[in-house]
Amino acid sequence: MLINIQTVKQARTAKGWTQQQLADVAGLSLRTIQRVESQGQGSMETCNALCAVLEIDRDELHVENTSIDNPEKRVMIYVLIGVLGGFLSGVLVTLVLN
């Protein structure tokens, strides 16, 4: 799930914690905290742990995924590309043969 990077950093620094201290208090690894603060990536368990120790509501921490990671969206994009490619190929063949 996507986690709001700025919210985590601001809440951590407001408490005066280092990344290592946050990891220790939340029961997470330092690497997990680094990944959250650099990429905004974390599991539901990571999000829950951060919400608990930083006293943040999950809705404030969670970021909606707006990319095409959804398999259904990805398939739709491939289908549209295929249809467009077929259409353009048909137009090209028609122009060449006429």
Q: What is the CATH number of domain 2-63?
A: 1.10.260.40
Mean pLDDT score across all residues of the chain: 90
Which stretches of the chain are DSSP H helices? 5-14, 19-26, 30-39, 44-54, 58-61, 71-97
Task: Determine the pLDDT at residue 37.
Answer: 95
Q: Per-residue pLDDT for 68 more than 60?
A: no
What percent of the chain is modeled with pLDDT above 70? 94
CA–CA dist 15, 45 (Å, integer): 21
Q: Per-residue pLDDT for 35 more than 80?
A: yes
This prediction has a pTM of: 0.65
DSSP conformation class of 63:
E
**Domain parsing of the chain, residue ranges:** 2-63, 67-98
